Amino acid sequence: MHSTALPPDLNPAHLPRHIAVIMDGNGRWATQRGLPRIAGHRQGAKTLKALLQCCQDWGIPVLTAYAFSTENWRRPLEEVTFLLRLFERLLHQELRAMQQAGVRVRFIGDLTALPESLQTLMSEAAAATADNDGIEFNVAVNYGSRLELTQAFRGIAADLLQGKIRLEDFQESWVEARLFTAGSPDPDLLIRTSGEQRLSNYLLWQLAYAELYFTNVLWPDFDREALAEALRAYQGRDRKFGGLPPTYLTA
Ligand code: FPP
């Protein structure tokens, strides 16, 4: 994939530091073409690769993609098996390219439920790229916010019971430090494709102040122009973080 510059109508000083994506619509994309659903996932993986490259080219430091949710186990066994094999194959194929591009890859979610061969590949890829200084690429696999938060609260409760910490000192940073995403900035922009307008148990804590962007484009068709369109919408919004827009403050 060749490198391309940020479209001139986008302000490089006002890009999100972190984009989170819900890659929805793979199945529909395939069905529309008379193909099996898995063909949509295969194409979706290509789209994700191109998006990662694009974020890197345009100077977006963090990308987090929802690849498999804690609820996705309810899909037909053959689709689940295909997805898990696809992750494994992609990790084999793409690790070298990610290394060369300086990508730092990290997997977030309850990885213990995944096949051991996949867990091993994931921890090897994370360790091998940990010191890279390019884009941070978080892949959410067997991820669910409620699971993540419950796990965080359980850890805090255990520390409280053991007297390691005091209830009076309980603060937000304790929760943040126990999330799978600890150490990453919160997403500034959430993109969900294919017309669905839900968060689906994704980064509920981390998205507290994110701008939400929904598009009818199906994930496999989410190309550079679609990303540019999302960024235009983002740059057109007034982010107030609960305060007043700057124009009111200076008036
Ligand atoms: C949602 O579309 C998509 C998924 C549950 C799978 C996403 C996975 C990929 C794009 C592969 C990425 C690979 C890596 C290594 C991260 P859907 O199946 O719900 O589509 P539908 O709503 O049209 O049925």
For residue 241, pLDDT beyond 90: no
Ligand 1 pocket, 109 CB below 6 A?
no
**Would you say how long the chain is, in residues?**
251
Q: Whose CA is nearest to atom 16 of ligand 1?
A: 67
- 212: Cβ–Cβ under 8 A, 6 or more apart, which residues? 190, 192
Give the type of residue at 41. Answer: H
- 17: Cβ–Cβ under 8 A, 6 or more apart, which residues? 60, 61, 62, 185, 188
Structural domains in the chain, sorted by start: 14-234 (3.40.1180.10)
Active site residues: 24, 72
The pLDDT of residue 246: 66
Ligand 1 pocket, 191 CB below 6 A?
no
244 pLDDT band, cuts 50/70/90, is confident
Give the type of residue at 201. Answer: N
Ligand 1 pocket, 44 CB below 6 A?
yes
pTM of the model: 0.94
DSSP 8-class letter at 63: E
Query: Measured in angstroms, how far is the CA atom of residue 72 from the centroid of ligand 1?
Result: 10
Nearest-CA neighbor of 136 among 228, 68, 59, 67?
59
- Rounded CA-CA distance 212/22 in Å is 11
Q: Whose CA is nearest to atom 12 of ligand 1?
A: 45
Backbone angles phi, psi at 96, to 5 degrees: -60, -45
Ligand 1 pocket, 24 CB below 6 A?
yes
Instruction: Indicate the burial class of 26 (C-beta count within 10 angstroms; 0-12, 13-18, 19 or more).
Output: buried
The pLDDT of residue 136: 98
Buried b or exposed e, range 139-159, using 16+ CB within 10 angstroms: bbbbbbbebbeeebeeebeee
The pLDDT of residue 243: 82
- Rounded CA-CA distance 100/132 in Å is 9
Share of the chain above pLDDT 70, in %: 96
- Give the tens place of pLDDT for each residue, 146-185: 999 999 999 999 999 999 999 999 999 999 999 999 999 9
Buried b or exposed e, range 41-67, using 16+ CB within 10 angstroms: bbbbbebbbebbbbbbbbebbbbbbbb
Ligand 1 pocket, 66 CB below 6 A?
no
- Give the tens place of pLDDT for each residue, 95-136: 999 999 999 999 999 999 999 999 999 999 999 999 999 999
Atom of ligand 1 nearest to the CA of 42: 11
242 pLDDT band, cuts 50/70/90, is confident
Helix axes 77-100 and 116-129, enclosed angle (nearest 10) = 20
247 pLDDT band, cuts 50/70/90, is low
